[in-house]
Every structure is written in C-alpha cells, then in structure tokens.
C-alpha cells in the first residue's frame, strides 16, 4: 500500500499538482486569514449545516457526519477561547478551520468539502456576517431614533431659527428639527431592512460555479442557516457581492446623515451659537486653552463618511470589471466591509450618546429665533391674507420694512405702527400679532409643518414605528 502523495512544501488542500510551495510574497498577498478570521463563527455555522445536509441526503455516513459535527464544535470553542492558532500558510479561515478539523478527527474531515467549494463557502460566510451586521445596524439606528424622539417630545414647542443657506429663514421648533433627522435615519432603517430581505438567499451548494453532481439539498442548508431560499443561479451565487455593496451604500448614506447632524452639533455647541450644551462625557478639553470644551465626537462622526464611502467606492471598483464567476479580486471585499461596519456602529453609538446627553439651551434658541427678521414671511403672508395684496407686492413691502428695521438697528416687531404704515397705509395694529415667533410656528399647521401640534403627531407616529 502506498501513501497518497503528500508534498511537504506545497499546500495540503490543493497541492496535488504543485511541486513547490509559494514564495513568501505570494503567501503574503494571497492570505486573508489576518482579517477573515472574523468570519470564523459563520464559517463553522455554514460547515455544520453543510455536513448535516450531507448526512441527511446519504452523501456521507452518519458516523462521519457526527465526527465532523463534534470536531467543528471543538474548533469553535478553541476559537472562542482564543486557543486557536491561525496560520498564514493556510491562507484563509476556511482552510484554517478544515486543517484543524483534520488534526482533531482525521479522515472524515476530508469529506466535509464534498459538493462544496470555497467559492460558495466564502459567499455564504460573508453573507451571514453582513446579515448580522445589517441587524446590528438596525438596532443602532433604532436606538438613535429613540433618543431623537425623546429630544423632539421634550422640545416640541421650543422655538429656534430655521435656516436656509445658514442664514435665518423662518422660526421652527426644536422638535421639528429633531424629527427631520428621525425621517433621515428612518429612511436608513428602511434601506437596511430592504437590503436584508433582498440578500437573504443562500449561495451554499452552488459549489465552484456550476452546481454539483452530488444530490445535495440546497433548500435544507438554506433553511438551516436562516435564509429564505437557495440562490437560483450558481454562477451568480458565487460571483455576487451586491449584498456587500448594498450594505456599504446604505452605510454611506447613513454616514452622510450622521455627518450633517454632527456638523450642526459642532456649530450649535460653539460660543457664538450656544444652541446646545454637549455633555462632558462626549466632549474633550484642550491641553493649552483651559476654557475649551471641544465637540470631538461630533467631529469624528463627521469625518467617518470618508472611510465608509471610501470602502463603498473601493468595492465598487473591485467588482466592476470582473468576469463571471469567482475571481480572487473578491477577497478584497471583506476588509472594506469590516472597517465600514465597525466605524458606522461606532458613529451611531457616539451620536446616540451625544443626543441622549445634550441639553438644548431653550433661551438661546428662543432669542436666536426672533432675530434676523425671521418672521418677515409671516408679515408678507398677513398682507396677503388680511389686505388681499398679491404675494409679490406683499414681499416687496415687507422688504422695505426689513430695510427700515435694519437701518434702525431693531427687529420687525420693534417698528411702530406709523413706520409700518409708511410702507402701506392700510396696515393695522393687528399686524403685530403675527410678528411673534410663537405665533409664527403655531401657525404652520400644514401636514409636515413645524407647528408643535404637527410635531407631536409625528413623534407619536414614530413611537409606534420604533416601539
């Protein structure tokens, strides 16, 4: 009896046709174990489902399946207990796990890969990982939305300036401003949930690219791994990374929202604005200027879009020119997704912490709400509503009154009736009622408007959605 050839220097998984092992540089560029070990749990989960199916379909003997099952559990506990030795020579997580399984149970380990390839294996593992991450992102978004709802409810009727071009536009309510972000993060939530539904098809059993001649039961493995169904085309199954791209795209849009909000917090917490006070827990000091309290968390959240969108762009570029089916280029998918996922979760958690802790400075908000001629539109609307003027004329008359107030160094409500009438003789004392900011926000009762009554309706609607 002769032993099977076992070239000592070439790879034990695929070394059959190789006489020599890889160059050290080849090994370095080829290995993914440094990062794909993060998918160890998913890899073992996938292998367990595959082995169970091989047993159920009679492809493997029950004794082999049992040995594989036990062996995989041991490998998992070794990895979880940090006792596992990861080897770069073994390239990736799939081969590291299988090699250890072989050490533990011997021959049956070699039967695990029946009807499977690393191509469908890695696609399955990575999908399981991304799916978990979509779930974690959903939870992170829900926590942030709840924190925003608390702020919105507390300050549903607190007035503040609304801006366009960062110039005072019209008064709005604090609650309304918070709820604008609830809408944005709510859409992010929708994108994450949509992506999860779309990606939930199992690649396992697509094998290398063409399917397999073994009588595998792909529905069984799909169900065991929590997928809705097996993917319907084996070529697509092993070459698809849409799920990663969708995650990165959704993460990028979410990061845009986080960044915009972070920018507002940076502005609002400045001494010039004083709209909010951030908690000590989410601020830092300066080593030289004792008075400084810096919004570092907000600034870093604002910056995170760089790497998250970078990851999205990088993977788009990796995928765009690849012929079907698998190409090794696709190994470059994981680091991008891992990094984006880690940083998105961190940014969501930091933003949730900041929003929970921050104090809106009601007085500063109110003072700012009344300055900058913020109720000029209310005055123009009054001229239309009460005097029946065309809006364009009303706009012009209001403009002259703003110019007059500016010249006098006062706000619109500080002009007297004579001054008002100098712009239009029919103006009455009643006009002053619409110049107050409270009146202004209370009047904006159109659906989706800033009036406290509308804000409270939206808070109630969202509480139902996220409860």
Peptide bond into 325 cis (omega under 30): yes
State yes or no: residue 331 binds ligand ARG (CB under 6 A). yes
Phi first, then psi, for residue 164 (nearest 5°) are -130, 145
Question: Which residues, 354 to 413, sit near ligand ARG by CB under 6 A?
Answer: none
Q: Is residue 214 within 8 Å of 115, Cβ to Cβ?
A: yes
- Token pair, residue 133, equals 């991450």
CA distance linking residue 7 with residue 23, whole number of Å = 16
Instruction: Establish how many alpha carbons lie within 13 A of residue 72's alpha carbon, considering only the half-sphere containing its beta carbon.
Output: 26
CB of 224 to ligand ARG, least distance (A): 21
CB of 253 to ligand ARG, least distance (A): 26
- Chain centroid to Cα 191, Å, comes to 9
CA angle, corner 333, sides to 110 and 344, nearest 5? 120
State yes or no: residue 330 binds ligand ARG (CB under 6 A). yes
Q: Which stretch binds ligand ARG (CB under 6 A): 54-62, 326-334, 348-356, 414-422?
A: 326-334
Q: Is residue 228 within 8 Å of 275, Cβ to Cβ?
A: no
Q: Which is nearer to ligand ARG, 309 or 326 (CB)?
A: 326
452-466 and 174-199 helices, crossing angle to 10°? 30
Q: Which is nearer to ligand ARG, 244 or 298 (CB)?
A: 244
Q: Which stretch binds ligand ARG (CB under 6 A): 15-23, 118-126, 183-191, 337-345?
A: 118-126
Q: Which is nearer to ligand ARG, 32 or 151 (CB)?
A: 32
Catalytic site positions: 165, 286
CB of 54 to ligand ARG, least distance (A): 20
Q: Which is nearer to ligand ARG, 119 or 124 (CB)?
A: 119
CB of 133 to ligand ARG, least distance (A): 17
State yes or no: residue 326 binds ligand ARG (CB under 6 A). yes
CB of 221 to ligand ARG, least distance (A): 18
> What 3 state SS string does 271-327 have?
CCCCCEECCHHHCECCCCCCCCCECHHHHHHHHHHHHHHHHHHHHHHHHHCCCCCCC
Among 119, 168, 221, 440, which residue interacts with ligand ARG (rule: CB under 6 A)?
119
Question: Which residues, 277 to 316, sit near ligand ARG by CB under 6 A?
Answer: none
Q: What is the DSSP string of 129-154?
A: HHHHHHHHHHHHHHHHHHHHHHHHHH
Site string for ligand ARG, 86-105 (x = CB under 6 A): ------x-------------
CB of 124 to ligand ARG, least distance (A): 11
Residue 231: C-alpha distances to residues 116, 204, 221, 287, 331 (Å): 14, 8, 11, 57, 20
Locate all alpha helices (DSSP H) within 155-208, ordered by sequence.
174-199
Among 122, 195, 340, 360, which residue interacts with ligand ARG (rule: CB under 6 A)?
122
Q: Which is nearer to ligand ARG, 125 or 188 (CB)?
A: 125
Q: Which stretch binds ligand ARG (CB under 6 A): 4-12, 115-123, 156-164, 242-250?
A: 115-123
Residue 180: C-alpha distances to residues 38, 115, 152, 303, 351 (Å): 36, 51, 10, 21, 15
Site string for ligand ARG, 32-51 (x = CB under 6 A): x---x---------------
- Residues forming contacts to ligand ARG in the complex (CB under 6 A) are 32, 36, 92, 118-119, 122, 326, 328, 330-331
């Amino acid at each position: 009896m002769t032993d099977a050839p076992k070239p000592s220097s070439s790879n034990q998984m695929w070394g059959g046709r190789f006489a020599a092992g890889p160059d050290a540089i080849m090994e370095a560029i080829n290995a993914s174990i440094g990062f794909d070990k993060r998918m160890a749990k998913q890899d073992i989960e996938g292998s367990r489902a595959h082995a169970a199916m091989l047993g159920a379909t009679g492809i493997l003997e029950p004794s082999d399946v049992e040995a594989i099952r036990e062996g995989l559990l041991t490998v998992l506990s070794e990895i979880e207990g940090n006792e596992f030795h990861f080897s770069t020579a073994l390239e990736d997580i799939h081969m590291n796990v299988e090699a250890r399984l072989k050490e533990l149970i011997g021959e049956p380990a070699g039967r695990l890969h029946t009807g499977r390839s690393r191509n469908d294996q890695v696609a399955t593992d990575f999908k399981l990982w991304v799916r978990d991450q979509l779930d974690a992102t959903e939870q992170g978004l829900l926590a942030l939305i709840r924190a925003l709802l608390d702020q919105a409810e507390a300050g549903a009727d607190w007035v503040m300036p609304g801006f366009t071009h960062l110039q005072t536009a019209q008064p709005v309510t604090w609650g309304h401003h918070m709820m604008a972000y609830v809408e944005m993060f709510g859409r992010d939530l929708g994108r994450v949930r949509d992506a999860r539904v779309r990606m939930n098809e199992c690649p396992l059993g697509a094998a290398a690219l063409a399917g397999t001649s073994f009588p595998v039961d792909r529905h069984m493995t799909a169900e065991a791994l929590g997928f809705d169904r097996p993917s319907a085309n084996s070529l697509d199954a092993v070459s698809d990374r849409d799920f990663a791209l969708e995650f990165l795209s959704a993460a990028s849009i979410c990061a845009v929202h986080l960044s915009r909000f972070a920018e507002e917090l940076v502005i609002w917490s400045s001494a010039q604005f004083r709209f909010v006070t951030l908690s000590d827990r989410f601020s830092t000091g300066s080593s030289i200027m004792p008075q400084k309290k810096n919004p570092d968390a907000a600034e870093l959240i604002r910056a995170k879009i760089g790497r998250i969108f970078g990851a999205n762009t990088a993977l788009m570029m990796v995928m765009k020119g690849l012929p079907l089916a698998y190409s090794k280029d696709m190994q470059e998918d994981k680091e991008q997704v891992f990094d984006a996922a880690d940083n998105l979760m961190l940014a969501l958690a930091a933003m949730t912490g900041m929003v929970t802790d921050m104090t809106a400075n009601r007085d500063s908000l109110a003072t700012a709400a009344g300055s900058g001629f913020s109720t000029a539109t209310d005055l123009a609307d009054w001229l239309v509503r009460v005097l029946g003027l065309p809006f364009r004329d009303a706009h012009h008359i209001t403009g002259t009154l703003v110019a007059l107030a500016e010249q006098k160094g006062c706000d619109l409500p500080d002009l007297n009736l004579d001054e008002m009438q100098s712009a239009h003789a029919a103006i009455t004392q009643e006009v002053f009622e619409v110049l107050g900011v409270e009146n202004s926000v209370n009047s904006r009762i159109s659906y989706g408007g800033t009036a406290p009554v509308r804000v409270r309706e939206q808070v109630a609607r969202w509480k139902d959605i996220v409860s």
